[in-house]
Structure 1
Amino acid sequence: MTDFNSLKTESRNLKSADIDKMSALEIAQLINEEDKTVAFAVTEALESIARGIDAMADALKNGGRIFYIGAGTSGRLGVLDASECPPTYGVSADTVIGIIAGGRDAAFESIEDAEDDFDSCVKQMKEKGFCGKDVCVGLSASGSANCVKGALQYAASLSAKTISVSCNHNSPLLPLSDIAITVEVGPEVINGSTRMKAGTAQKMILNMLSTGAMVRFGRTRGNYMAYMIPSNIKLVDRAIRIICAKTGATPERAKAELEKAGNVIADAIDAIEAEA
Protein backbone atom coordinates (compact mmCIF):
# COMPACT_ATOMS: atom_id res chain seq x y z
CA MET A 1 0.00 0.00 0.00
CA THR A 2 1.42 3.38 -1.03
CA ASP A 3 2.12 5.85 1.75
CA PHE A 4 0.61 8.88 0.02
CA ASN A 5 1.69 11.17 2.84
CA SER A 6 5.31 10.58 1.83
CA LEU A 7 4.83 11.70 -1.78
CA LYS A 8 5.87 15.23 -2.75
CA THR A 9 3.05 15.36 -5.30
CA GLU A 10 0.58 15.05 -2.40
CA SER A 11 2.21 17.63 -0.14
CA ARG A 12 1.06 21.21 0.39
CA ASN A 13 2.63 24.18 -1.38
CA LEU A 14 2.98 26.92 1.24
CA LYS A 15 3.48 29.59 -1.44
CA SER A 16 -0.12 29.13 -2.55
CA ALA A 17 -1.67 28.63 0.88
CA ASP A 18 -3.66 31.86 0.51
CA ILE A 19 -4.39 31.56 -3.21
CA ASP A 20 -8.12 32.04 -2.55
CA LYS A 21 -7.34 35.56 -1.36
CA MET A 22 -5.17 36.52 -4.34
CA SER A 23 -6.11 38.67 -7.33
CA ALA A 24 -6.30 37.10 -10.79
CA LEU A 25 -2.92 38.62 -11.68
CA GLU A 26 -1.32 37.31 -8.49
CA ILE A 27 -2.65 33.82 -9.21
CA ALA A 28 -1.27 33.93 -12.76
CA GLN A 29 2.12 35.22 -11.51
CA LEU A 30 2.34 32.50 -8.87
CA ILE A 31 1.52 29.69 -11.29
CA ASN A 32 3.97 31.13 -13.82
CA GLU A 33 6.76 31.24 -11.21
CA GLU A 34 6.07 27.62 -10.21
CA ASP A 35 5.99 26.50 -13.85
CA LYS A 36 9.44 28.02 -14.41
CA THR A 37 10.91 25.39 -12.10
CA VAL A 38 9.72 22.46 -14.22
CA ALA A 39 12.30 22.65 -17.01
CA PHE A 40 15.12 22.76 -14.44
CA ALA A 41 13.70 19.68 -12.74
CA VAL A 42 13.56 17.85 -16.07
CA THR A 43 17.24 18.69 -16.63
CA GLU A 44 18.14 16.36 -13.75
CA ALA A 45 16.61 13.41 -15.62
CA LEU A 46 18.17 13.92 -19.06
CA GLU A 47 20.44 10.88 -18.86
CA SER A 48 17.51 8.61 -18.06
CA ILE A 49 15.47 10.25 -20.82
CA ALA A 50 18.29 9.59 -23.30
CA ARG A 51 18.32 5.93 -22.30
CA GLY A 52 14.58 5.85 -22.87
CA ILE A 53 15.00 7.38 -26.33
CA ASP A 54 17.53 4.72 -27.30
CA ALA A 55 15.36 1.90 -25.96
CA MET A 56 12.36 3.13 -27.92
CA ALA A 57 14.35 3.66 -31.12
CA ASP A 58 15.89 0.19 -30.84
CA ALA A 59 12.44 -1.33 -30.45
CA LEU A 60 11.15 0.47 -33.55
CA LYS A 61 14.17 -0.66 -35.58
CA ASN A 62 13.47 -4.26 -34.55
CA GLY A 63 9.81 -4.16 -35.51
CA GLY A 64 8.50 -3.36 -32.03
CA ARG A 65 6.03 -0.72 -30.92
CA ILE A 66 5.76 1.88 -28.17
CA PHE A 67 2.94 1.63 -25.63
CA TYR A 68 2.16 4.58 -23.36
CA ILE A 69 0.20 3.47 -20.29
CA GLY A 70 -1.45 5.77 -17.77
CA ALA A 71 -4.56 7.01 -16.00
CA GLY A 72 -6.15 10.45 -15.79
CA THR A 73 -3.92 13.31 -16.94
CA SER A 74 -0.94 11.00 -17.43
CA GLY A 75 -2.96 8.67 -19.62
CA ARG A 76 -4.38 11.53 -21.67
CA LEU A 77 -0.89 12.92 -22.28
CA GLY A 78 0.21 9.50 -23.52
CA VAL A 79 -2.77 9.25 -25.86
CA LEU A 80 -2.05 12.78 -27.12
CA ASP A 81 1.62 12.07 -27.86
CA ALA A 82 0.81 8.78 -29.57
CA SER A 83 -1.87 10.36 -31.75
CA GLU A 84 0.55 12.97 -33.06
CA CYS A 85 3.19 10.51 -34.28
CA PRO A 86 1.44 9.31 -37.48
CA PRO A 87 0.83 12.78 -39.01
CA THR A 88 4.21 14.11 -37.88
CA TYR A 89 6.44 11.16 -38.78
CA GLY A 90 4.36 9.13 -41.22
CA VAL A 91 4.30 5.99 -39.07
CA SER A 92 1.25 3.75 -38.81
CA ALA A 93 -1.31 4.36 -36.08
CA ASP A 94 -0.24 1.18 -34.27
CA THR A 95 3.44 2.16 -34.03
CA VAL A 96 2.94 4.33 -30.95
CA ILE A 97 -0.13 3.41 -28.93
CA GLY A 98 -1.67 5.32 -26.03
CA ILE A 99 -3.64 3.30 -23.50
CA ILE A 100 -5.62 4.98 -20.73
CA ALA A 101 -7.19 3.24 -17.74
CA GLY A 102 -10.93 3.07 -18.26
CA GLY A 103 -10.63 2.91 -22.05
CA ARG A 104 -11.40 5.46 -24.73
CA ASP A 105 -14.19 7.17 -22.75
CA ALA A 106 -11.70 8.05 -20.00
CA ALA A 107 -9.84 10.31 -22.43
CA PHE A 108 -12.86 12.63 -22.48
CA GLU A 109 -14.57 12.01 -19.15
CA SER A 110 -12.96 11.39 -15.79
CA ILE A 111 -13.06 7.76 -14.61
CA GLU A 112 -10.88 8.16 -11.54
CA ASP A 113 -11.28 4.70 -10.01
CA ALA A 114 -10.01 2.98 -13.18
CA GLU A 115 -6.43 3.54 -12.04
CA ASP A 116 -6.96 1.25 -9.04
CA ASP A 117 -7.53 -1.81 -11.25
CA PHE A 118 -4.25 -3.68 -11.86
CA ASP A 119 -5.69 -5.25 -15.02
CA SER A 120 -7.38 -2.17 -16.50
CA CYS A 121 -4.55 -1.43 -18.93
CA VAL A 122 -3.23 -4.97 -19.23
CA LYS A 123 -6.50 -6.04 -20.85
CA GLN A 124 -6.06 -3.35 -23.48
CA MET A 125 -2.40 -4.32 -24.01
CA LYS A 126 -3.47 -7.90 -24.69
CA GLU A 127 -6.11 -6.70 -27.15
CA LYS A 128 -3.37 -4.81 -29.01
CA GLY A 129 -1.09 -7.87 -29.01
CA PHE A 130 1.64 -6.43 -26.80
CA CYS A 131 4.73 -8.63 -27.04
CA GLY A 132 8.37 -8.87 -25.99
CA LYS A 133 9.58 -6.70 -28.90
CA ASP A 134 7.47 -3.78 -27.68
CA VAL A 135 8.30 -1.12 -25.06
CA CYS A 136 5.96 -0.24 -22.18
CA VAL A 137 6.19 3.36 -20.96
CA GLY A 138 4.30 3.70 -17.67
CA LEU A 139 3.10 7.22 -16.88
CA SER A 140 2.03 8.15 -13.34
CA ALA A 141 2.74 11.48 -11.65
CA SER A 142 2.64 9.99 -8.16
CA GLY A 143 3.87 6.58 -9.28
CA SER A 144 1.02 4.98 -7.33
CA ALA A 145 -1.40 4.04 -10.13
CA ASN A 146 -2.09 0.31 -9.86
CA CYS A 147 -3.02 0.11 -13.53
CA VAL A 148 0.49 1.28 -14.45
CA LYS A 149 2.12 -1.10 -11.99
CA GLY A 150 0.15 -3.95 -13.51
CA ALA A 151 1.14 -2.93 -17.03
CA LEU A 152 4.84 -2.74 -16.18
CA GLN A 153 4.71 -6.12 -14.47
CA TYR A 154 2.92 -7.66 -17.45
CA ALA A 155 5.46 -6.19 -19.88
CA ALA A 156 8.33 -7.51 -17.78
CA SER A 157 6.75 -10.98 -17.76
CA LEU A 158 7.12 -10.97 -21.55
CA SER A 159 10.74 -9.73 -21.31
CA ALA A 160 9.75 -6.41 -22.88
CA LYS A 161 11.65 -3.23 -22.03
CA THR A 162 9.95 -1.11 -19.37
CA ILE A 163 10.21 2.64 -18.80
CA SER A 164 8.48 4.65 -16.10
CA VAL A 165 7.83 8.39 -15.91
CA SER A 166 6.91 9.75 -12.48
CA CYS A 167 7.37 12.81 -10.28
CA ASN A 168 8.44 11.36 -6.91
CA HIS A 169 11.89 10.05 -6.07
CA ASN A 170 10.25 7.37 -3.90
CA SER A 171 7.88 6.36 -6.72
CA PRO A 172 6.60 2.77 -6.40
CA LEU A 173 7.29 2.40 -10.14
CA LEU A 174 11.08 2.55 -9.77
CA PRO A 175 11.66 -1.14 -8.97
CA LEU A 176 9.30 -2.15 -11.78
CA SER A 177 11.22 -0.29 -14.50
CA ASP A 178 14.32 -1.02 -16.57
CA ILE A 179 14.60 2.73 -17.04
CA ALA A 180 13.10 5.04 -14.41
CA ILE A 181 12.62 8.67 -15.42
CA THR A 182 11.91 10.62 -12.26
CA VAL A 183 11.34 14.38 -12.20
CA GLU A 184 10.42 15.76 -8.80
CA VAL A 185 8.64 19.06 -9.38
CA GLY A 186 7.46 19.47 -5.79
CA PRO A 187 4.04 20.40 -4.39
CA GLU A 188 1.42 21.73 -6.79
CA VAL A 189 -0.13 25.20 -6.55
CA ILE A 190 -3.43 23.42 -5.89
CA ASN A 191 -2.66 20.60 -3.49
CA GLY A 192 -2.44 17.27 -5.34
CA SER A 193 -3.50 18.67 -8.72
CA THR A 194 -0.85 16.87 -10.75
CA ARG A 195 -2.30 18.07 -14.04
CA MET A 196 -0.25 21.20 -13.33
CA LYS A 197 3.55 21.03 -12.84
CA ALA A 198 3.69 17.23 -12.92
CA GLY A 199 1.59 17.20 -16.08
CA THR A 200 3.85 19.80 -17.70
CA ALA A 201 6.92 17.75 -16.80
CA GLN A 202 5.42 14.59 -18.26
CA LYS A 203 4.51 16.41 -21.49
CA MET A 204 8.06 17.71 -21.82
CA ILE A 205 9.45 14.22 -21.27
CA LEU A 206 7.08 12.65 -23.79
CA ASN A 207 8.08 15.30 -26.34
CA MET A 208 11.71 14.28 -25.86
CA LEU A 209 11.05 10.54 -25.91
CA SER A 210 8.93 10.41 -29.06
CA THR A 211 10.91 13.07 -30.94
CA GLY A 212 14.24 11.50 -30.05
CA ALA A 213 13.06 8.00 -30.91
CA MET A 214 11.66 9.09 -34.28
CA VAL A 215 14.81 11.01 -35.17
CA ARG A 216 16.97 7.98 -34.34
CA PHE A 217 14.53 5.78 -36.24
CA GLY A 218 15.27 7.87 -39.34
CA ARG A 219 11.97 9.68 -39.68
CA THR A 220 13.52 13.13 -40.23
CA ARG A 221 16.04 14.67 -42.62
CA GLY A 222 18.00 17.04 -40.47
CA ASN A 223 15.28 18.79 -38.51
CA TYR A 224 12.74 18.50 -41.32
CA MET A 225 9.65 16.29 -41.07
CA ALA A 226 10.55 14.24 -44.13
CA TYR A 227 7.73 11.76 -43.60
CA MET A 228 5.05 14.20 -42.48
CA ILE A 229 1.67 13.51 -44.07
CA PRO A 230 0.69 16.64 -46.08
CA SER A 231 -3.04 16.33 -45.48
CA ASN A 232 -4.14 19.99 -45.67
CA ILE A 233 -3.24 23.21 -47.47
CA LYS A 234 -0.75 24.35 -44.82
CA LEU A 235 1.04 21.00 -44.73
CA VAL A 236 1.23 20.70 -48.52
CA ASP A 237 2.86 24.14 -48.60
CA ARG A 238 5.24 23.09 -45.84
CA ALA A 239 6.13 19.90 -47.73
CA ILE A 240 6.98 21.88 -50.86
CA ARG A 241 9.12 24.30 -48.85
CA ILE A 242 10.97 21.39 -47.22
CA ILE A 243 11.75 19.87 -50.62
CA CYS A 244 12.94 23.24 -51.93
CA ALA A 245 15.15 23.82 -48.90
CA LYS A 246 16.73 20.36 -49.09
CA THR A 247 17.27 20.23 -52.85
CA GLY A 248 17.26 23.77 -54.22
CA ALA A 249 14.38 22.85 -56.53
CA THR A 250 11.80 25.40 -57.61
CA PRO A 251 8.39 25.23 -55.91
CA GLU A 252 6.88 24.00 -59.18
CA ARG A 253 9.38 21.15 -59.46
CA ALA A 254 8.99 20.31 -55.78
CA LYS A 255 5.22 20.13 -56.10
CA ALA A 256 5.42 17.89 -59.15
CA GLU A 257 7.88 15.50 -57.54
CA LEU A 258 5.81 15.40 -54.35
CA GLU A 259 2.78 14.31 -56.36
CA LYS A 260 4.81 11.68 -58.22
CA ALA A 261 6.10 10.37 -54.88
CA GLY A 262 2.61 9.88 -53.52
CA ASN A 263 3.08 12.79 -51.09
CA VAL A 264 6.09 11.17 -49.42
CA ILE A 265 8.47 14.08 -48.90
CA ALA A 266 11.59 11.97 -48.41
CA ASP A 267 10.99 10.10 -51.66
CA ALA A 268 10.52 13.37 -53.54
CA ILE A 269 13.81 14.65 -52.12
CA ASP A 270 15.59 11.44 -53.13
CA ALA A 271 14.19 11.62 -56.67
CA ILE A 272 15.41 15.17 -57.18
CA GLU A 273 18.82 14.50 -55.63
CA ALA A 274 19.26 11.37 -57.78
CA GLU A 275 19.03 13.54 -60.90
CA ALA A 276 21.44 16.18 -59.63
Structure 2
Amino acid sequence: MPETISPIMPGRGDASRVDGSGPLLRVDHVQLGYWVEDTFNLAVADATFEVKARERIIVIGPSGCGKSTLLKAIAGFVEPVGGTISVTGRKTLAPGPDRAVVFQEFDQLFPWRTVLGNVAYPLRVNGRGRREAEAVAREFLELTHLTRAAKRFPHQLSGGMKQRVAIARALALEPTLLLMDEPFGSLDAITRQRLQAELNRIVAGADVTLMFVTHSIEEALVLGDRVVVMGDAPSTVLEIVDVRDLGGPETAEYGAMRVKLRSLLEVEREVVEDDGVDD
Protein backbone atom coordinates (compact mmCIF):
# COMPACT_ATOMS: atom_id res chain seq x y z
CA MET A 1 0.00 0.00 0.00
CA PRO A 2 1.61 3.32 -1.03
CA GLU A 3 2.20 5.85 1.70
CA THR A 4 1.85 9.57 1.31
CA ILE A 5 2.76 12.09 3.95
CA SER A 6 -0.26 13.87 5.35
CA PRO A 7 -0.60 17.57 4.46
CA ILE A 8 -0.60 18.35 8.17
CA MET A 9 3.15 17.77 8.07
CA PRO A 10 4.56 19.63 5.07
CA GLY A 11 8.22 19.10 5.85
CA ARG A 12 11.13 20.04 8.05
CA GLY A 13 11.27 23.61 9.28
CA ASP A 14 13.91 25.98 7.99
CA ALA A 15 16.13 28.36 9.92
CA SER A 16 14.10 31.47 9.12
CA ARG A 17 12.91 32.55 12.54
CA VAL A 18 12.25 36.07 13.57
CA ASP A 19 14.82 37.91 15.68
CA GLY A 20 12.26 39.57 17.93
CA SER A 21 12.16 42.81 15.94
CA GLY A 22 8.90 41.97 14.18
CA PRO A 23 5.92 39.61 14.33
CA LEU A 24 6.34 35.98 13.41
CA LEU A 25 2.79 35.83 12.03
CA ARG A 26 0.85 38.72 10.52
CA VAL A 27 -2.81 38.34 9.53
CA ASP A 28 -3.80 41.53 7.70
CA HIS A 29 -7.48 42.20 6.89
CA VAL A 30 -8.03 38.60 5.82
CA GLN A 31 -11.36 37.60 4.31
CA LEU A 32 -12.40 33.97 3.83
CA GLY A 33 -15.45 32.34 2.30
CA TYR A 34 -16.84 29.40 0.37
CA TRP A 35 -19.27 28.60 -2.44
CA VAL A 36 -22.52 26.68 -2.03
CA GLU A 37 -23.77 26.05 -5.56
CA ASP A 38 -24.02 29.56 -7.04
CA THR A 39 -23.92 31.43 -3.74
CA PHE A 40 -20.74 32.74 -2.13
CA ASN A 41 -20.81 32.74 1.67
CA LEU A 42 -18.44 35.03 3.54
CA ALA A 43 -17.18 33.26 6.68
CA VAL A 44 -14.54 35.75 7.86
CA ALA A 45 -15.20 39.40 6.99
CA ASP A 46 -12.04 40.89 8.49
CA ALA A 47 -9.33 39.25 10.61
CA THR A 48 -6.31 41.31 11.62
CA PHE A 49 -3.75 40.45 14.30
CA GLU A 50 -0.05 39.75 14.84
CA VAL A 51 1.72 36.99 16.76
CA LYS A 52 5.22 37.21 18.24
CA ALA A 53 7.74 34.37 18.25
CA ARG A 54 7.12 31.75 20.97
CA GLU A 55 3.79 33.31 21.87
CA ARG A 56 0.74 31.15 22.57
CA ILE A 57 -2.29 32.56 20.76
CA ILE A 58 -5.76 31.11 21.26
CA VAL A 59 -8.55 31.77 18.75
CA ILE A 60 -12.02 31.40 20.21
CA GLY A 61 -15.45 32.00 18.78
CA PRO A 62 -18.86 30.48 18.09
CA SER A 63 -19.39 27.47 15.85
CA GLY A 64 -19.33 28.42 12.18
CA CYS A 65 -17.50 31.72 12.74
CA GLY A 66 -14.58 30.67 10.52
CA LYS A 67 -11.91 30.14 13.16
CA SER A 68 -10.91 26.72 11.78
CA THR A 69 -10.99 28.08 8.24
CA LEU A 70 -8.68 30.87 9.36
CA LEU A 71 -6.24 28.33 10.79
CA LYS A 72 -6.33 26.38 7.52
CA ALA A 73 -5.62 29.58 5.60
CA ILE A 74 -2.58 30.25 7.80
CA ALA A 75 -1.47 26.66 7.14
CA GLY A 76 -1.76 27.33 3.42
CA PHE A 77 -4.66 24.97 2.70
CA VAL A 78 -7.25 27.71 2.01
CA GLU A 79 -6.69 30.83 -0.09
CA PRO A 80 -8.07 34.10 1.30
CA VAL A 81 -10.40 36.08 -0.91
CA GLY A 82 -8.98 39.26 0.57
CA GLY A 83 -6.05 40.42 2.71
CA THR A 84 -2.70 38.74 3.31
CA ILE A 85 -1.09 36.24 5.69
CA SER A 86 2.68 36.41 6.31
CA VAL A 87 4.97 34.15 8.32
CA THR A 88 8.44 35.51 9.18
CA GLY A 89 7.78 38.30 6.69
CA ARG A 90 6.91 36.02 3.79
CA LYS A 91 3.43 35.90 2.27
CA THR A 92 1.97 32.40 2.59
CA LEU A 93 0.65 30.97 -0.67
CA ALA A 94 0.72 27.25 0.10
CA PRO A 95 1.65 24.78 2.86
CA GLY A 96 5.29 25.16 3.87
CA PRO A 97 7.96 23.70 6.14
CA ASP A 98 7.56 26.51 8.65
CA ARG A 99 4.03 25.37 9.67
CA ALA A 100 2.68 22.10 11.06
CA VAL A 101 -0.92 21.30 11.93
CA VAL A 102 -2.58 18.97 14.44
CA PHE A 103 -6.29 18.38 13.89
CA GLN A 104 -9.01 17.04 16.18
CA GLU A 105 -9.36 13.65 14.47
CA PHE A 106 -7.56 10.60 15.89
CA ASP A 107 -6.96 8.99 12.45
CA GLN A 108 -3.92 11.12 11.65
CA LEU A 109 -1.53 8.21 12.28
CA PHE A 110 -0.52 5.38 9.94
CA PRO A 111 -2.15 2.33 11.57
CA TRP A 112 0.50 -0.08 10.25
CA ARG A 113 3.41 1.89 11.74
CA THR A 114 4.57 1.97 15.34
CA VAL A 115 4.58 5.17 17.37
CA LEU A 116 8.29 5.57 16.61
CA GLY A 117 7.69 4.86 12.95
CA ASN A 118 4.89 7.42 12.74
CA VAL A 119 7.02 10.19 14.24
CA ALA A 120 10.08 9.26 12.15
CA TYR A 121 8.25 8.77 8.84
CA PRO A 122 7.94 12.41 7.70
CA LEU A 123 11.62 12.92 8.53
CA ARG A 124 12.47 9.98 6.27
CA VAL A 125 10.29 11.44 3.50
CA ASN A 126 12.26 14.68 3.80
CA GLY A 127 15.58 12.95 3.24
CA ARG A 128 16.80 11.87 6.69
CA GLY A 129 18.40 8.46 7.03
CA ARG A 130 16.61 5.89 9.15
CA ARG A 131 19.02 6.07 12.08
CA GLU A 132 18.98 9.88 12.17
CA ALA A 133 15.19 10.09 11.74
CA GLU A 134 14.59 7.64 14.57
CA ALA A 135 17.05 9.46 16.83
CA VAL A 136 15.18 12.74 16.30
CA ALA A 137 11.84 10.96 16.74
CA ARG A 138 12.98 9.51 20.07
CA GLU A 139 13.87 13.00 21.31
CA PHE A 140 10.31 14.19 20.70
CA LEU A 141 8.80 11.02 22.11
CA GLU A 142 10.73 11.78 25.28
CA LEU A 143 9.48 15.38 25.25
CA THR A 144 5.88 14.14 24.95
CA HIS A 145 6.37 11.36 27.54
CA LEU A 146 5.83 8.58 24.97
CA THR A 147 9.18 6.78 25.12
CA ARG A 148 7.66 3.64 26.63
CA ALA A 149 5.03 3.55 23.87
CA ALA A 150 7.55 3.71 21.01
CA LYS A 151 6.90 0.14 19.82
CA ARG A 152 3.11 0.27 20.12
CA PHE A 153 0.72 0.62 17.20
CA PRO A 154 -2.04 3.26 17.03
CA HIS A 155 -4.81 0.78 17.83
CA GLN A 156 -3.05 0.12 21.15
CA LEU A 157 -3.21 3.79 22.19
CA SER A 158 -5.83 5.87 23.95
CA GLY A 159 -7.22 8.98 22.26
CA GLY A 160 -5.01 11.21 24.40
CA MET A 161 -1.89 9.23 23.52
CA LYS A 162 -2.72 9.41 19.80
CA GLN A 163 -2.91 13.18 20.04
CA ARG A 164 0.44 13.30 21.82
CA VAL A 165 1.95 11.22 18.99
CA ALA A 166 0.50 13.70 16.48
CA ILE A 167 2.05 16.57 18.45
CA ALA A 168 5.43 14.79 18.62
CA ARG A 169 5.33 14.14 14.88
CA ALA A 170 4.54 17.77 14.12
CA LEU A 171 7.26 19.12 16.44
CA ALA A 172 9.87 16.70 15.05
CA LEU A 173 9.65 18.63 11.79
CA GLU A 174 10.93 21.72 13.63
CA PRO A 175 8.17 24.09 12.48
CA THR A 176 8.23 27.77 13.29
CA LEU A 177 4.47 27.76 13.89
CA LEU A 178 2.43 24.92 15.40
CA LEU A 179 -1.25 25.16 14.44
CA MET A 180 -3.79 23.16 16.46
CA ASP A 181 -7.47 22.91 15.50
CA GLU A 182 -9.47 21.84 18.58
CA PRO A 183 -7.15 18.84 19.10
CA PHE A 184 -8.68 17.92 22.46
CA GLY A 185 -12.31 18.50 21.52
CA SER A 186 -13.25 14.80 21.30
CA LEU A 187 -11.62 13.81 24.57
CA ASP A 188 -13.26 13.39 27.96
CA ALA A 189 -12.88 16.25 30.43
CA ILE A 190 -10.22 14.60 32.61
CA THR A 191 -8.03 13.62 29.63
CA ARG A 192 -8.49 17.05 28.11
CA GLN A 193 -7.31 18.80 31.29
CA ARG A 194 -4.29 16.51 31.53
CA LEU A 195 -3.31 17.17 27.92
CA GLN A 196 -3.71 20.91 28.39
CA ALA A 197 -1.10 20.75 31.14
CA GLU A 198 1.06 18.50 28.96
CA LEU A 199 0.82 20.90 26.02
CA ASN A 200 1.93 23.83 28.19
CA ARG A 201 4.95 21.81 29.28
CA ILE A 202 5.76 20.62 25.74
CA VAL A 203 5.51 24.08 24.17
CA ALA A 204 7.68 25.54 26.93
CA GLY A 205 10.36 23.00 26.02
CA ALA A 206 10.24 23.59 22.26
CA ASP A 207 11.26 26.59 20.16
CA VAL A 208 7.81 26.99 18.63
CA THR A 209 4.96 29.46 18.42
CA LEU A 210 1.48 28.09 19.11
CA MET A 211 -1.84 29.02 17.52
CA PHE A 212 -4.68 27.01 19.05
CA VAL A 213 -8.34 27.06 18.00
CA THR A 214 -10.99 26.17 20.59
CA HIS A 215 -14.59 26.83 21.57
CA SER A 216 -13.79 26.55 25.30
CA ILE A 217 -13.19 29.63 27.42
CA GLU A 218 -11.54 27.51 30.11
CA GLU A 219 -9.12 26.02 27.59
CA ALA A 220 -8.26 29.47 26.28
CA LEU A 221 -7.42 30.70 29.78
CA VAL A 222 -5.31 27.63 30.61
CA LEU A 223 -3.28 27.61 27.38
CA GLY A 224 -3.03 31.17 26.11
CA ASP A 225 -0.84 34.22 26.39
CA ARG A 226 -3.42 36.16 24.39
CA VAL A 227 -6.89 35.29 23.13
CA VAL A 228 -8.26 36.39 19.75
CA VAL A 229 -12.04 36.61 20.15
CA MET A 230 -14.08 36.23 16.95
CA GLY A 231 -17.77 37.03 16.50
CA ASP A 232 -20.51 35.35 14.50
CA ALA A 233 -20.05 34.78 10.77
CA PRO A 234 -19.26 36.72 8.73
CA SER A 235 -16.85 37.25 11.58
CA THR A 236 -14.46 39.95 12.61
CA VAL A 237 -11.98 40.06 15.48
CA LEU A 238 -14.00 41.46 18.38
CA GLU A 239 -11.03 41.94 20.71
CA ILE A 240 -7.57 40.58 21.50
CA VAL A 241 -7.22 39.94 25.22
CA ASP A 242 -4.06 39.35 27.25
CA VAL A 243 -4.63 36.46 29.66
CA ARG A 244 -1.16 36.09 31.13
CA ASP A 245 -0.52 36.30 34.86
CA LEU A 246 -4.10 35.62 35.92
CA GLY A 247 -3.21 32.99 38.49
CA GLY A 248 -5.36 29.90 38.91
CA PRO A 249 -9.14 29.47 38.57
CA GLU A 250 -9.57 30.45 42.21
CA THR A 251 -8.27 34.01 41.71
CA ALA A 252 -10.46 37.06 41.20
CA GLU A 253 -8.45 38.02 38.10
CA TYR A 254 -9.14 34.66 36.47
CA GLY A 255 -12.85 34.87 37.25
CA ALA A 256 -13.09 38.42 35.93
CA MET A 257 -11.38 37.47 32.68
CA ARG A 258 -13.68 34.51 32.26
CA VAL A 259 -16.69 36.79 32.65
CA LYS A 260 -15.19 39.26 30.16
CA LEU A 261 -14.67 36.58 27.49
CA ARG A 262 -18.20 35.28 27.97
CA SER A 263 -19.53 38.83 27.68
CA LEU A 264 -17.64 39.40 24.42
CA LEU A 265 -18.98 36.17 22.97
CA GLU A 266 -22.55 36.94 24.02
CA VAL A 267 -22.75 40.26 22.19
CA GLU A 268 -25.33 38.79 19.81
CA ARG A 269 -26.25 35.46 21.44
CA GLU A 270 -24.86 32.90 23.87
CA VAL A 271 -22.71 30.76 21.63
CA VAL A 272 -19.70 29.38 23.47
CA GLU A 273 -19.59 26.41 25.81
CA ASP A 274 -18.19 27.25 29.22
CA ASP A 275 -17.48 23.68 30.37
CA GLY A 276 -20.51 23.72 32.66
CA VAL A 277 -19.13 26.22 35.19
CA ASP A 278 -21.47 28.91 36.48
CA ASP A 279 -20.34 32.45 37.20
**TM-score bucket (shorter structure):** under 0.3
TM-score normalised according to structure 2 size: 0.26
Larger RCO (CA under 8 A, 6+ residues apart): 2
Normalized per residue, the structure richer in strand is 2
TM norm structure 1: 0.26
Write 1 or 2 for the structure with the bigger share of helix: 1
Q: Which has the larger radius of gyration?
A: 1
